[in-house]
Amino acid sequence: MTTIIVIILAYLIGSIPSGLWIGQLFYKTDIRQQGSGNLGATNTFRILGKKAGAVVTVMDILKGTLATLLTTFALLSNSNIHPLIAGVIAVVGHMFPIFAKFKGGKAVATSAGVLLGYHWPIFILLLVAFLICLKICKMVSLSSMITAVLAFVYSIVYAIIDQEYYLLIITALLAFFVIYRHRTNITRIKNGTEPKITWI
């Protein structure tokens, strides 16, 4: 029973449409109707500005972190579910949120939050890598995909050293989610039409 509760809670936490709610509550704007129409942090930055974008980024990260830490809570500690599985369920909730007609974000920030909750050094490493990539290419989408691949590479090395195969499997899955959700961005990158940022 506890395992089922963790699964449901993880999905509901992931389903919180941060960008949608922030836009509607504080800006009277539905970001699904503007820009890329995506509920993630990038479109929030584009439509609502840096402050709202930063808040949504943090909220999306914390969704993954909270879901990953659910099994550490006293009432849920006897769950048989691995923390990373709970995190992945939150990512699925983020991509297909019940609170936003199952049309969500691209899994980047929430996936990062899962890694933060389970193994914080990889989160720090990937954050630095993401910012470096973003500084060089000016494309959030490309930086996100490169960072996702780097997470998988890191997990391979970590699995060899510490036999942490759960992390290897989950980072592979998360990297797949991120790249698959960016398939339209990949087409625009190939065509040279992908939007670039100017604030870094």
Q: Which residue shows structure tokens 């190939």?
A: 190
Taking each continuous run of H as one helix and of E as one strand, the counts in the chain are 10, 0
**Both tokens assigned to 178:** 């991120």
pLDDT digits over 180-190, tens only? 999 999 999 99
pLDDT digits over 132-152, tens only? 999 999 999 999 999 999 999
Distance CA(90)–CA(75), nearest Å, equals 19
pLDDT digits over 79-120, tens only? 889 999 999 999 999 999 999 999 999 999 999 999 999 999
pLDDT digits over 42-87, tens only? 899 989 999 999 999 999 999 999 999 998 887 787 888 999 999 9
- Taking the alpha carbons at both ends of the chain, their separation in whole angstroms is 47
* pTM: predicted TM-score of the whole model, two decimal places: 0.94
Answer positive or negative: Cα dihedral of 41, 109, 16, 120.
Answer: negative
Distance CA(144)–CA(4), nearest Å, equals 31
Helix (H/G/I), strand (E/B), else coil: 164: coil
